[in-house]
Structure 1
Amino acid sequence: MSTDGARTYVRRMTFPVRIGVQLQPQHADYAQIRDAVRRAEDLGVDVIFNWDHFFPLSGDPDGKHFECWTMLAAWAEQTERVEIGALVTCNSYRNPELLADMARTVDHISGGRLILGIGAGWFEKDYDEFGYEFGTAGSRIADLADALPRIKARWAASNPAPTREIPILIGGGGERKTLRVVAEHAHAWHSFGDAPTLTRKSAILDEHGAAVGRDTATLVERSVAVSAPPAEQAAAFLDAGATLLTVGTSGPDYDLSLAAQWVAWRDAQR
C-alpha cells in the first residue's frame, strides 16, 4: 500500500490534530492525580489517558499505584470537556462482557466522552500477582480478537445503549496479527516508536484493511506517544500520518510543561 504524500495527506485531513496526556497512575496519592486531571483539562488537552496496570512501570516497582477503571469513572464525573480513556486497557484482566458494561457505564457518566483503549497485555508481573494466566503473545492477541466482537455485541444488547458508538483505540504493533485486529475493529491505532516505524506499519495496516474491506487510511486514526518538544517531533509525526499525539507524565508531580508546549503548537496550526 502506498505511503506517499497523497496518502498521508488524506489521513491528516480526515482527523483533526489532537493532544493527549497520559497521567500514569503511579507514585502519587489520589489527590495528586485528581489535581493533575484538573490542570490538564484547564490546559486545553483533548484527551486524558491513564493506563491499566496494577504496579508501577518505572521507579520503585512496588510504589504507590491505583486501578484504571474505577479511576476513569471518577474522571468522568470530575471533567467536563476532555475525552478520557486508558492507554490502554489490558484485555486479559476482565471478562469482555463485563468490560463492555463498565465502558458503557463510564460513557454515560461522562456524557459520551469515553475512548475504549485496549490491548492484548504484556506486563507479566500484573498477571502473576493477580492470578491471571499469562499465556503467550499469540494467545493474548487471539483472546483480544475474540473479545472485541463480544464487547460490541454486549453494547448492542445493553439498556440503555451507549450514548454514541464508543471509539475503540487498539495499542500494539505486531505486524501480522495485531494490525489485522486493528484493521477489523479499531477507530484508532496507537503506535509505539518513531515516525519511520509509524510510516512503515501504517502501510502494513492499510494492507490489512484492504484485505478485510475497510479503508483504514481514512477510518483509523493514527495515535503516537511524544516525548520531546514539537520542534523536534511534530513535523515527522504529522508527515507519518499521526493526529493524536500524547505526552506521558508520572507522579507524584505530574509535570505538564511538555504537554503545554504541544497544546500551544496545536493551537498555532488552527
Structure 2
Amino acid sequence: MRRLFLLATAIVCFLSCSTDEPVDYTVQNDEEIQAYILENNLNAEKTTSGLYYVIDEQGGGEAPVNLNDRVKVVYKGYFTNGTVFDESTAEGASFILQYVIPGFAEGLTKFNEGGSGKLLIPAHLAYGSNKHNNIPAGSVIIFDIEVVYVNYKTENDIEIQQYLTDNNLEAQKTESGLYYIIDETGTGENPTSTDQVTVAYTGYFTNGEVFDESTVSGATLSLNQVISGWKEGIPYFNEGGKGKLLVPAHLGYGNSNYYTIPGGSVLIFDIELKSIN
C-alpha cells in the first residue's frame, strides 16, 4: 500500500518546485465528475470547494471535525475510467487529517465513524497540475471509503475491555470513557478535582511496558494540572485507597506522541492515594 494521497506536504513541494505555469482544470474536472455521476447513477452532493461526495452509510459514531483529528479508513482510490492507483489493507490506514490532500480531509468530515461512501475529488483539491507518481496531472480521483474509527475512542475502549478480560478484572466505566478499579477503599476523605495530592503510582501500557513510575513515597501534584483521566479518576479514591485507572487517549495525551508515549495510547496506572495536602 503506497498511500499516495496522504502527504499534503508533497503537494506544496510539487507546486513550488514546478517551473511550468499551473493549469486550471476546474471546469474540465467538474464536467468529468458530473458525467461519471450520471453514468453511474450516483446521488452525490457538491461542496463549495468543488468536492463531490456520496454517503452510502452515514455511520453512528464520532465524526472528524478539524485537522487535528485522526481517522482510520479503509479505502480504494481510482480514476473515472476505473483504473485503481492505490488501496489500503482490509484493516485500513490511520492518519491525521492535516496530512492528507484537501479533498480527502474535507470529505471525511461528512462521515461519522462506521460510515461509508465515495469522494470524487477534482485536481485542485488533490495534486493540481502536477503528475504525482502514477497519478497524471489534472486527474479527477475517486475514493471508495469506510471510516473505521475516529480519534481512538472506540479502539481504546475495545483495548481496555480486552485487557480487563485477559486479566480477569472488573472495572467501573464513567460517562467520559474512563475505567477505574478500587482495590482498597481507604479511610480518609475524597479529594476534589482541584486538590493537591500525593500519589504513589506506576504507569504502563496494556502490554505491561512501564513508561513512568513514582518513588515509594509518591509524587505530589495538583489535580488541576494533570491529564483529564487523573483529574477525574483520583477523586474516586479515599485517602489511603489503592487501585487502577485505565485511561483512554482522549483523557490522556490524545492523538500526539508525548515523550515515550505514542499517540493514541491507553494508559494504565496502579495508584495509591497517600494523602490529600
Tell me, yes or no, whether TM beats 0.5: no
By percentage of residues, which structure has more helix? Answer: 1
Greater RCO between the two (CA within 8 Å, min separation 6)?
Answer: 1
By percentage of residues, which structure has more strand? Answer: 2
TM-score (norm 1): 0.19
